[in-house]
Amino acid sequence: MGPGPANAHPRVLRAMAADLLGQFDPEFTAYMEEVMALYRPIFGTTNRWTFLIDGTARAAIEASLVSLTRPGDRVLVINFGRFGLLLEEILTRIGAKISRLDIPWGEVAAHDQIAAAIDEAAPQVVATVHGDTSTTTAQPLAGLGALCRAAGAYSYVDATATLGGMPFYTDEWELDVVTCGLQKCLGGPAGSAPITISDRAAEAIFARRHIEKGLSQGEAGGPAPRIQSNYFDLAMIMDYWSEKRLNHHTEATSMLYAARECARLALEEGLEARWARHHRAGKAMVAGLRAMGLTVYGQDAYRMANVTGVFIPEHVDGEAVRRRMRTEFEIEIGGAFGPLTGKIWRIGAMGVNARTHKVLITLGALEAVLRAEGLAVPAGAAVDAARSTF
Ligand SMILES: *Cc1c(COP(=O)(O)O)cnc(C)c1O
């Protein structure tokens, strides 16, 4: 019950045990096509360019930023936690001219603030995060894409922590590039990163297409500067995922099976039902923690459904509690990063773990551990309060 990675669905683990296929095997390329189709509804898009980046979620973040942003481009980062700072860190390496709209941890940016920041920075790219697990806060994104498009900018959103667990509408929100990972709400292992790219962003990326020497048949390169990374060159990766099947990397076969199974499970359950399941689990967690007399971190209106921050009570050793949870109950809960280190625990309920019984068991265990660590916690109150929300 940490903030991710979470447990994988057993069907995903079984899918990964299937035999390997060659990357140009028709059966395998059919799976690639199927994966593209499966992830479109999950992203809430009809984007043709919806596929997988091989690597953890960060691989897709880096591929997006290095392919969208040219050195010297102006980029606005809307930063409200560790993963906003990661965007800045990657963009610094790219050589972008970065402006930051810094939002205090635990808060979100207001639409007007974003509009003003875009006006001031005149960015070519705006990059942000949907749910930043470091702060357990989700930035509302409706209207962001429209602001960016009106300003002639491309938008990038890291939705790693929320896709499949909270409502997400790439097309309705007019977002250009959105990326994810499997190990949060999608209930898979880390190692494959779904991505979707709007046609207008794909066009800009293809303008930077320079096919690598060993594969080139003498095609002219695009008019825009070559993408600085080979592995994360989205133009070449899209050529590989297109009917051209132009070889780039060897697609990570078993991870593709995993990503496919994650998507099939999500769509079988139904996205609305899945979002509701995460919402129920998160709400029960919050109610239970409060009934124990603990203070939940952040604001209810902007809380992520799938991970809850809670202040470590005074005179309680946060690490000792985490250790006891793990050794006595085999339940993982998370610590925190940056300014929240040692101040809050982060407790997840995502993917297969977003189940009411898992929330109840976690609350019961935490109550017992807190009592063992000397905190007077009302017996049974947490579980009762959580149950009353169902
Ligand atoms: C968990 C998380 C990631 C994880 O990236 P990895 O490369 O898979 O470790 C990225 N972004 C956000 C917002 C996350 O919550």
pLDDT, tens digit only, all 390 positions of the chain = 999 999 999 999 999 999 999 989 999 999 999 999 999 999 999 999 999 999 999 999 999 999 999 999 999 999 999 999 999 999 999 999 999 999 999 999 999 999 999 999 999 999 999 999 999 999 999 999 999 999 999 999 999 999 999 999 999 999 999 999 999 999 999 999 999 999 999 999 999 999 888 888 888 889 999 999 999 999 999 999 999 999 999 999 999 999 999 999 999 999 999 999 999 999 999 999 999 999 999 999 999 999 999 999 999 999 999 999 999 999 999 999 999 999 999 999 999 999 999 999 999 999 999 999 999 999 999 999 999 999
| Residues whose CB is less than 8 angstroms from the CB of residue 112 and which lie 6 or more positions away in sequence, other chains included | none
Domains of the chain: 10-267 (3.40.640.10), 271-387 (3.90.1150.10)
Alpha carbon distances (Å) from 389 to 169, 296, 364, 368: 27, 16, 16, 21
Q: How far apart are CA 127 and CA 100, in angstroms?
A: 10
Chain position carrying tokens 């409502």: 167
Ligand 1 atom index nearest CA of 161: 15
**Separation of 160 CA from ligand 1 center, angstroms?**
6
Ligand 1 atom index nearest CA of 59: 7
Quick one: three-class SS letters along the chain? Answer: CCCCCCCCCHHHHHHHCCCCCCCCCHHHHHHHHHHHHHHHHHHCCCCCEEEEEECCHHHHHHHHHHHHCCCCCEEEEEECCHHHHHHHHHHHHHCCEEEEEECCCCCCCCHHHHHHHHHHHCCCEEEEECEECCCCEECCCCCHHHHHHHCCCEEEEECCCCECCECCCCCCCCCCEEECCCCCCCCCCCCEEEEEECHHHHHHHHCCCCCCCCCCCCCCCCCCCCCCCCCCCHHHHHHHHCCCCCCCCCCCHHHHHHHHHHHHHHHHHCHHHHHHHHHHHHHHHHHHHHHCCCCECCCHHHECCCEEEEECCCCCCHHHHHHHHHHHHCCCCECCCHHHCCCEEEEECCHHHCCHHHHHHHHHHHHHHHHHCCCCCCCCHHHHHHHCCC
Ligand 1 atom index nearest CA of 4: 1
The pLDDT of residue 206: 97
Residue 141: Cβ-neighbour burial (10 angstroms; 0-12, 13-18, 19+): buried
135, 139, 160: which to mutate for ligand 1, most atoms within 8 A of CB? 160
Nearest CA to ligand 1 atom 6: 57
- Asked if residues 76 and 101 have their Cβ atoms less than 8 Å apart, the reply is yes
- Asked if residues 180 and 45 have their Cβ atoms less than 8 Å apart, the reply is no
**Separation of 193 CA from ligand 1 center, angstroms?**
10
Cα atoms in the Cβ-side hemisphere of radius 13 Å centred on 368: 12
Ligand 1 atom index nearest CA of 133: 15
52, 53, 54, 58: which to mutate for ligand 1, most atoms within 8 A of CB? 58
The pLDDT of residue 217: 87
Task: Please list every protein residue whose CB sits less than 6 Å from any atom of ligand 1.
Answer: 4, 56-58, 83, 129, 132-133, 158, 160-161, 181, 184, 190
Annotated binding site: which residue ranges?
A: 346
CA 284, chain centre distance (Å)? 22
Residues 161-173: tens digit of each pLDDT:
999 999 999 999 9
